[in-house]
Amino acid sequence: MEYYNNILCVTYAELTEGDDAVISAATLRQNMRRGNIQCARQGKDEGNYALYVYASLPEKYRMKYEERHGDPSAVLRQRKAESYEVMDNKARAYYEAFEYDLNGVQTKLSQKLIDEYTANASVLGHLQKRMNELTAYSAALGGGRRSDLWDIVYSESEQMREDTRHTLPANKKRLREKLNNYKEGGYATVISGKIGNKNTLKITEEAGHRLIALKRSKVPVLTDRQIFEQFNAEAAKRGWKPIKSLSGLKAWLESPQVKPLWYDAVHGELNAHQRYDRRHRTELPQRRDTLWYGDGTKLNLYYRDEDGKVRTTSVYEVIDAYSETFLGYCISDTEDYEAQYMAYRMAVQVSGHKPYEIVHDNQGGHKKANSSGMLDKICRVHRTTAPYNGASKTIESVFGRFQQEVLHKDWRFTGQNITARKDTSRPNVEFLEANKDQLYTLDELKAAYLKARTEWNEMVHPSTGEQRIRMYQSSENPETPAVTAADMVEMFWVTCDRMSTFTSSGIEITVKGKKRAYEVMSAPGVPDIEWRRQHTWQKFVVKYDPYDFSSIRLYWKDKAGELRFERVAEPYMVIHRALQDQTEGEALFIRNQQKEAEQSRIERQVVAREIEHAEGVAPEQHGLSTPRLKGVKADVQRQIDRRLKKYERPPEELSIGRVTKKVSNIDWTELENNVVTLDTRKVAGKL
């Protein structure tokens, strides 16, 4: 009986051998096949014996065992207590710190050897003390040196063999030699001569540097055999010991201390970084919207383009790290800003909440997404992953499993990354070629991908066993606010680079080379004439929705440069020019707008001329006339005149004034010399 991996076990011999056997060998094997009895260690390899978990024995066999051998726990506690009294902790510390040369590399002892040497040194120390006690006791009795002292010590060594598991010689003479060596050399004499020590280095530091240099060589590139041959050819000249075998050289080069010194030259520095530098162990979020990942990848399905060519495309996906739910995506040939915009917008609309954090790489359109401030508006924190470090992105793992579990079922599957080693990760090129005409069109590809990602969302999460989408929907995150309509405008409406002017033809913006005109309405289909009177030829900052061009938002800047919302503008109304093409509604609209235009001219004239009269700058007040409106009917001008009549003087008042003014300016000498002639009848009649 003994503990194996901290589990109480009994041996095959204790169970099946002798007159007091607990169970027959055949019954033991039958119980093992049925799973009733567990085997902790099989009796394979030299020096090993089978061990069986004591707790797994059926109760009747445990009772038999304890009748014959006692309670295993109590027996082992007693043995352990006795062995603890013998074991030398200083010996264990010595062997744990001991190093020796293994193929030119300083190596520590294995745990098995540490345990063996500790037990041997401890027993030798105990036997030495025992021999000293017996010798002193014999001398004290005056009997001289007894001839049977070694028999007693030898017998005690054998009694301790089972409890301590020591491997000291079973031969009395060899045991005596071992003990004498221990007295002289201490702990070091216990170590096998095959192990070696610090002074038996086979590859010196200088020779090691040469081997590493040959392994790193690029001109020429050498195989291990060529390195072996070249090094041994140089060894004699440089005073180095030649390497005896190619296998020894390979073992030295592959050792953990040496391999990092040449790995980057052979396999690349990035591979060396990923292989040897420390990685973080991270715990994924415990609730939704704590962390979103955004990344672009190849959409691993082939399709047939308009020219019949076999092609692939890309997709940008946004996922929730907690539930692995695909939230938003955009299929695009390039991972540009527009693809990211569409994917994040869809993700926010599906979620209904802003995420706390977004993690993305720094490639493609992410630089524009950063500079435009889009990501800052969506989440509290966004950061980039370490470049060339796929292990740091959970989304890479999700994509891999999505490909293996969902997309792989479609015969149009492109295969995973070309670095994948499994045959199942590669496409059947011959089958694809034979069925090229059955490939998806681009529209069919988009529909198939939507179906595939829906299937993924409805599959169970490997950690919880719950559907990913339900797992996401049932979770709550109080620190991620719900998204409002105003939030959507703030996050996803795009601001035009330049200000635009509202003219008599409305306000015009250009998006991707296409011009779009808008105007402000007072009611559906009715332009707001009053607003036009006040804002025509004013400059505005325009925001638009790339998803929906049915309206834009106009903002004006205050003196501090802050934006102030003015109005929503709708697409400019377009009517047919030819009468034949016009509908009844369009004709009515034209008539109404003509009336509105006339009324607008009237109002503008009346207000302006009222101001003139009030300030004394009206042309009529200085003997001049205001031009009449052109291109309008006479009743339009009459309306203006009628509304301005209160500012006119009666005709007689105007005549008296003119005559009086003329009379006052005439000199008497002018009358006498007949320079001027005055119609006295008019003067007498008016005065």
Instruction: Decide which of 241 and 46 is more confident.
Output: 241
Most confident of the following: 80-94, 134-148, 268-282, 530-544: 530-544
Q: What is the mean pLDDT of residues 275-296?
A: 85
Cα angle: 375, vertex 378, 384; to 5 degrees = 35
One DSSP character per residue, 195-209 reads: T--TT--SS-HHHHH
Task: Provide the terminal-to-terminal Cα distance of the chain, rounded to the nearest Å.
Answer: 149
Contact 284, 475 (CB under 8 A): no
Using 50, 70 and 90 to split pLDDT, how confident is the model at 653?
A: very low
pLDDT per residue as tens digits for the range 529-572:
889 888 999 999 999 888 888 899 999 988 888 888 999 999 98
Sequence length of the chain is 687
Q: Kindly tell me the number of DSSP H helices and DSSP E strands found in the chain.
A: 27, 19
How far is C-alpha 162 from the geometric centre of its chain's CA atoms? Answer: 57
pLDDT attached to residue 233: 92
Pick the closest to residue 117 from 100, 84, 93, 101 (CA basis).
Answer: 93
Contact 226, 234 (CB under 8 A): no
d(CA 672, CA 397) in angstroms, rounded, equals 118
CA-CA-CA-CA torsion for 15, 18, 20, 23, nearest 10 degrees? 40
d(CA 275, CA 10) in angstroms, rounded, equals 42
Over its C-alpha atoms, the chain yields an Rg (Å, rounded) of 50
- Which amino acid appears at position 602 of this protein? I
Most confident of the following: 73-82, 363-372, 442-451, 658-667: 442-451
Contact 328, 346 (CB under 8 A): yes
Surface-to-core class of residue 245, CB atoms within 10 Å of its CB (0-12 exposed, 13-18 middle, 19+ buried) = exposed
Contact 199, 175 (CB under 8 A): no
Using 50, 70 and 90 to split pLDDT, how confident is the model at 308?
A: confident
pLDDT per residue as tens digits for the range 609-648:
888 888 888 888 887 878 887 877 777 778 777 888 755 5
Contact 317, 297 (CB under 8 A): yes
pLDDT attached to residue 266: 92
Pick the closest to residue 325 from 293, 372, 286, 359 (CA basis).
Answer: 293
The DSSP code for 74 is H
Phi-psi region of 128 (alpha: psi -120 to 50; beta: other; left: phi over 0): alpha
Longest dimension (CA), the chain: 188
d(CA 460, CA 469) in angstroms, rounded, equals 9
Strand ranges inside 546-588, DSSP E: 548-557, 563-571
Residue 30 C-beta-side C-alpha neighbours within 13 Å: 6
Using 50, 70 and 90 to split pLDDT, how confident is the model at 362?
A: confident
d(CA 347, CA 355) in angstroms, rounded, equals 10
pLDDT per residue as tens digits for the range 93-142:
998 988 887 655 678 888 999 999 999 999 999 888 888 877 776 666 55
Using DSSP, state whether 674 is helix, strand or coil: coil
For residue 231, the tally of other CB atoms under 10 A from its CB is: 20
The DSSP code for 360 is E
pLDDT attached to residue 83: 47
CA-CA-CA-CA torsion for 427, 432, 438, 441, nearest 10 degrees? 60
pLDDT attached to residue 592: 76
pTM metric for this prediction: 0.53
Using DSSP, state whether 440 is helix, strand or coil: strand
From residue 567, how far is each of 145, 502, 521, 655 by CA, in Å?
A: 118, 12, 9, 53
Most confident of the following: 136-140, 163-167, 421-425, 677-681: 163-167
